[in-house]
Amino acid sequence: MTDAASSRPLPAKIDLADPRWYLNRELSLLEFQRRVLAQSIDASMPLLERLRFLTICSNNLDEFFEIREAGIREQLTQGAPKLGAAQIAPSELLRRIASVAQYLVAEQYRVLNDVLLPALEKEGVRLLRPAAWSKPQREWAHRFFREEVLPVLTPVGLDPAHPFPRILNKSLNMILELDGADAFGRSARLAVVQAPRSLPRLFRVPGGVAEKPHDFVLLSSLIQGHVAELFPGMKVKSCHEFRVTRDSDLWVDEEEVDDLMAALKGELTRRNFGIAMRLEVTADCPQSTINFLLEQFRLPIESVYRVNGPVNLHRLGAIYDAVERPELKFPPFVPSVAPRVQRAESLFEVLRGGDLLIHTPYESFAPVVDFAMQAAADPEVLAIKQTLYRTGSDSPLADALIRAARAGKEVTAVVELRARFDEAANIDLATRLQDAGARVVYGIVGFKTHAKMLLVVRREGGQLRRYAHLGTGNYHTRTARTYTDWSLLTAHEEVTEDVHFLFQQLTGLGKVAKLKQLVQSPFGLQERLVALIGREAEEAKAGRPAAIVAKLNALTDPVIMQALLKASQAGVAIDLIVRGMCSLRPGIPGISEKIRVRSIVGRFLEHSRIALFHAAGEEQVFLSSADWMERNLLRRVETFFPVLDKALKQRVIGEGLKPYLADSAQAFELQPDGTYVRATPGRGKPKAAQSWLLDHVGR
């Protein structure tokens, strides 16, 4: 390790809670944003995909300030001494975050201006600024502004009768410095123009005016190019974009409210006006104007981010959708469907013949949708129960539940209203389900229901039989095309019985059920993981082979990390594939030298959770909805379920783990100091796990 604190000699007795062995989770999350941003400068990526990665990084940073930074500032206010396993004081952590975030923002605009926009222009895709408009373009822009933009603008001159307006979270705004007096003799020095949310942020320049196949103009450019028309007779001395990012985490005291849905509805209206966290302004904005804005938002100078371009790069994502250039995007592919599914008349028939495993997006998510739709239409199905965390506003799965309820079936939906940034959609979904006659519950007070379960009860030959779906991802048909996840469809008696007990627990009252195959949080999952890790450590101590491979979105739970350190010291070979936050430092001699951590960033978002334990040669494989984080293991309802079929178990290993451990094209390896280094291919050709899976699983 490179930092001085970690290079001190190891004590005779190692304290596993020593903060030297751990990384801060927020700083680790920012390191993930570096890896996302790195895709935008990767010349092996199609050009429009590189632009898309840039916008994803921008959007991720927005959420970081809305949620992560907001949480740290709250802890600072409450006087928290030190945070997380790495034990960093909130004030010091905020300083480090600002340093990394400032770099990331500056790098985003450097990549945009110096790399992507010039490359796009060579391909006939241009973002036209007012200074570069030709005469025909200026005439079109002026006409378009007067007809389509000006009628919905409301300029606000700041004076005692017109105080500084309320600024929506992440909205586009202009602040102007004016000179002169208006018709009433007022001589307000400053004014604000807020861009209406009803207008798109990007417009295509029409044919006959455009000089390239794909010329675009930003709404901000249209406003800035004609802003003087909003203040006739006044001199506009300067006009600068600004944008404020606010605390967007919702807080509801669930034990004090009578109606969670009504309480969340009330909070949603306030989300857009939370406490300010960050101020973005154009690079040439005068310091006096910045100081004025800081005063309005009650922000320190450290919260200012000067940007060399539009204040919201995420809006440039519209270019990706507007430009039909297949050669500048990832090639399309058709997900495969298992032959046994294609041949069968119903999925119930398929599952009576054995478990079905689906690896999305390489395989189609359609069988999961068909499972719900067939259950809704089948007269022999008596009941359907499903957890809904994120489903999308037009979910066919939700439609299936509604049809089933209207057909008189017993339908139970556990809708997680508190799924962050999906609260409004889930409230709407819950209302639609209730109106159709479904029984809707919101899970357990104080515990988010994050488990992905679907249970069908069907009458067969005079007896009732259960069928279930368990997944690592959400019931969202759109993200199923871009997120890597696993779905298990089964009629296994013990598994489906466990799922039944879990639904009873979510909707009713009673003691924790003793499950036969599944493990759940918050009851026992953390302990089970520690036991599984500990068993490998005992095997290694006895001189027998021992290994752990896990694929996760995040690793931050102190108890699990300490168990992994013990296993490493015992000699267990541990490979961790962690997409985002990882608070465990690998490769420290005598501490974590047997632990290797890598992250894969590519075309698809790596979302699946897999755990493989050598288990004295038996190779136990588990899939889960839970990351190895305190919130998932202690404050959420999650599932951790085994892959029991031997062939399917080998398939998970062969598709879900081995290609990622061999990846030398899209993999980044975590170093002991917390930085990530891109994996190198050595002498052979670079291997990309996602490309290999597209060739061997998808078609």
> Rounded to whole angstroms, how far apart are CA atoms 550 and 484?
15
Task: Name the residue among 13, 18, 34 with its Cα closest to residue 674.
Answer: 34
Task: Name the residue among 337, 624, 373, 348 with its Cα closest to residue 491.
Answer: 348
Task: Name the residue among 384, 481, 362, 360 with its Cα closest to residue 433.
Answer: 384
Strand, helix or coil at 695? helix
Q: Is 361 exposed, middle or buried, given 0-12, 13-18 or 19+ CB atoms closer than 10 A?
A: buried
Share of the chain above pLDDT 90, in %: 79
Task: Identify the DSSP state of 273.
Answer: T
Pick among 3.40.50.2300, 3.30.1840.10, 1.10.10.10, 3.75.10.10: CATH of 128-318:
3.30.1840.10
Rounded to 10°, the helix 558-570/525-541 angle is 10
For 392-428, the DSSP string reads -TT-HHHHHHHHHHHTT-EEEEEE-TTSTT-HHHHHH
What contacts 693, CB < 8 A, 6 or more positions away? 359, 362, 655, 659
Contact 57, 100 (CB under 8 A): no
Rounded to 10°, the helix 90-110/25-39 angle is 0
Task: Name the residue among 498, 509, 446 with its Cα closest to residue 640.
Answer: 498
Q: For position 255, what pLDDT does the model report?
A: 47
Cα separations in angstroms, 368 against 69, 349, 486: 37, 14, 11
Task: Name the residue among 527, 543, 668 with its Cα closest to residue 606.
Answer: 668
> Rounded to whole angstroms, how far apart are CA atoms 170 and 629?
29
Task: Name the residue among 373, 440, 431 with its Cα closest to residue 407.
Answer: 373
> Rounded to whole angstroms, how far apart are CA atoms 61 and 245?
10
| Active site annotation includes 607 | no
Task: Identify the DSSP state of 11.
Answer: P
Mention the CATH class of domain 520-696: alpha beta
Q: Is 125 exposed, middle or buried, given 0-12, 13-18 or 19+ CB atoms closer than 10 A?
A: buried
Using CA atoms in the order 103, 108, 114, 116, what is the torsion angle rounded to 10 degrees?
Answer: 160
**Angle at CA of residue 534, ends 529 and 537, nearest 5°:** 140
Q: For position 363, what pLDDT does the model report?
A: 97
Q: Do domains 339-512 and 520-696 have the same CATH topology?
A: yes
Rounded to 10°, the helix 25-39/47-63 angle is 160
Q: From the centroid of its chain, how far is CA 386?
A: 22
* Domain boundaries of the chain, sorted by first residue: 128-318, 339-512, 520-696
Q: Is 124 exposed, middle or buried, given 0-12, 13-18 or 19+ CB atoms closer than 10 A?
A: middle
> Rounded to whole angstroms, how far apart are CA atoms 468 and 491?
6
pLDDT per residue as tens digits for the range 470-527: 999 999 999 999 999 999 999 999 999 999 999 999 988 778 878 999 999 999 999 9
Q: Is 221 exposed, middle or buried, given 0-12, 13-18 or 19+ CB atoms closer than 10 A?
A: buried
- Give CB contacts under 8 A, 24+ apart, made by 445-449: 445/254, 445/255, 446/254, 446/255, 446/635, 447/522, 447/635, 447/636, 447/637, 448/416, 448/418, 448/419, 448/635, 448/636, 448/637, 449/387, 449/389, 449/414, 449/416, 449/506, 449/636, 449/637
Q: In which order are the strands placed within the sheet that holds 214-218?
A: 125-127, 214-218, 202-204
Backbone angles phi, psi at 164, to 5 degrees: -55, 130
For 535-601, the DSSP string reads HHHHHHHTTS--EEEEEES-B--HHHHHHHHHHHHHT-EEEEEESS-B-BPP--TTTTTTEEEEEE-
Catalytic residue among 226, 450, 476, 492: 450
Cα separations in angstroms, 361 against 76, 332, 393, 482, 486: 42, 12, 20, 6, 9
> Rounded to whole angstroms, how far apart are CA atoms 607 and 471?
11
> Rounded to whole angstroms, how far apart are CA atoms 323 and 312?
20
279 DSSP β-pair partners? 244, 304
Please name the amino acid found at residue 645.
D
The token duo for 156 is: 């606000």
Q: For position 393, what pLDDT does the model report?
A: 72
Q: Which portions of the chain are predicted below pLDDT 70?
A: 1-12, 160-161, 181-188, 250-271, 419, 698-699
Four-residue CA torsion sign, 111, 112, 114, 119? positive
Contact 306, 331 (CB under 8 A): no
Pick among 3.30.70.1400, 3.30.870.10, 1.10.620.20, 3.40.1410.10: CATH of 339-512:
3.30.870.10
> Rounded to whole angstroms, how far apart are CA atoms 174 and 243?
9
